């Protein structure tokens, strides 16, 4: 297993354009998380999935952000009508997250997708 | 609501010991994580505490007091490669949402 993969690693776009990021989690992991991180800050929670079900979406997120995990495997995060304030590193993480699992369910992060909005 | 506080920056000397504190106020609690993040890289898992007490793992130890909403990460025999940000994260009681603090940037001096 190659771990959590994210694509693209870097994206430069103009304000107002739409962008989409893809995350491929570790194959046996049921839970998938999206975070946003800016320089000098910790990861900010965006949303997470249990298999294909989106369990929670941050209230801080505007309607321009949407995420899907249609078959419970890979996930996409789309940002519509990008703004300069969207410039950040978008991190994806996955964890085993099996039902009834009382263990740590440690998150494994991907390398991230860096977005620059001009 | 949830709030996680940790110092913004700390400096320590190679070979020394440093303690990074984390306090949290959350509506529910189901475990606390510490992650290490080197500049430009993804966070990597260091430790997990769900019960009160000390968890030791080599040069790194983590402590939790649930009644005080307090944890610390203890790093011994500091090495230059320990220069990184250290992230405290709390798992919600319901579901599995994991919220991170802003991180503590640790600088190691030779």
Question: Which of A33, A56, A112 is the closest to B42 by Cβ?
Answer: A112
What residues of chain B lie within 8 A of the CB of A40, using their CB? 102-103, 105
Which chain A residues touch B101 with a CB distance below 8 Å?
A: 42
Tell me whether residues A106 and B33 touch, CB distance under 8 A: yes
Helix or strand or coil: residue B81? helix
- Cis check for the bond before A60: say yes or no (omega within 30 of 0): no
How crowded is residue A7: how many other Cβ atoms within 10 Å of its Cβ? 14
Contact A107 B98 (CB under 8 A): yes
**Residue bearing tokens 């494994």:** A108
Please state, rounded to an integer, the average pLDDT across all residues of chain A.
Answer: 91
Mean pLDDT of B33-45: 95
- Average pLDDT of chain B, as a whole number: 94
pLDDT at A99 over 80: no
- A42: closest CA of chain B, how far (Å): 4
Determine the pLDDT at residue B1.
64
pLDDT score of A62? 81
A53-71: pLDDT as tens digits: 999 898 877 899 999 999 8
Say what the pLDDT of residue A103 is. 62
Percent of chain B with pLDDT strictly greater than 90: 85
pLDDT mean over B9-37: 94
Token representation of residue B91:
């798992």
Spatial separation of the C-alpha atoms in residues B110 and A85, rounded to whole Å:
38
Assess whether pLDDT exceeds 60 at residue A100: no
User: B97 or B23: which carries more pLDDT confidence?
Assistant: B23
pLDDT for position B102: 95
Half-sphere exposure of B16 (CA within 13 A, CB side): 13
Give the separation between CA A32 and CA A110, rounded to whole angstroms: 11
Residue in A23, A25, A43 to test binding to B, most B beta-carbons within 10 Å:
A43
Q: What pLDDT, on a 0 to 100 scale, did the predictor assign at position A101?
A: 55
DSSP A31-88: EEEEEEE-TTSPPEEEEEEETTEEEEE-TTS-TTEEEE-TTSS-EEEEE-S--GGG-E
- Each residue of A67-92: pLDDT tens digit? 999 988 999 999 999 999 999 999 99
pLDDT at A69: 96
pLDDT digits (tens, 9 = 90+) for A6-17: 999 999 999 999
B50 to chain A: closest CA residue? A104
Interface test with A, best of B3, B64, B96 (most A CBs within 10 A): B96
């Amino acid at each position: 297993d190659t771990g959590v993969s994210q694509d693209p690693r870097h994206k430069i776009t103009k304000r107002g354009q739409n962008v989409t990021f893809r995350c491929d989690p570790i194959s046996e992991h049921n839970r998938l998380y999206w975070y946003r991180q800016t320089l000098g800050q910790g990861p900010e929670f965006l949303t997470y999935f249990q298999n294909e079900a989106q369990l929670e979406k941050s209230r801080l997120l505007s309607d321009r952000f949407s995420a899907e995990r249609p078959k419970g495997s890979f996930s996409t995060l789309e940002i519509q009508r990008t703004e300069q304030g969207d410039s950040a590193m978008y991190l994806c993480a996955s964890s085993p997250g099996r039902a009834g699992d009382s263990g740590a369910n440690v998150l494994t992060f991907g390398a991230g997708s860096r977005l620059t909005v001009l | 609501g949830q709030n996680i506080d940790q110092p913004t920056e700390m400096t320590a000397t190679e070979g020394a010991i440093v303690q990074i504190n984390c306090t949290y106020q959350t509506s529910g609690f189901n475990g606390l994580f510490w992650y290490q993040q080197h500049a430009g890289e993804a966070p990597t898992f260091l430790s997990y505490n769900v019960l009160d007490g000390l968890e030791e793992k080599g040069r790194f130890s983590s402590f939790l007091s649930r009644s005080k909403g307090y944890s610390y990460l203890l790093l011994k025999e500091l090495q230059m490669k320990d220069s990184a940000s250290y992230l405290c994260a709390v798992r919600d009681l319901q579901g599995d949402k994991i919220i991170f603090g802003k991180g503590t940037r640790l600088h190691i001096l030779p």
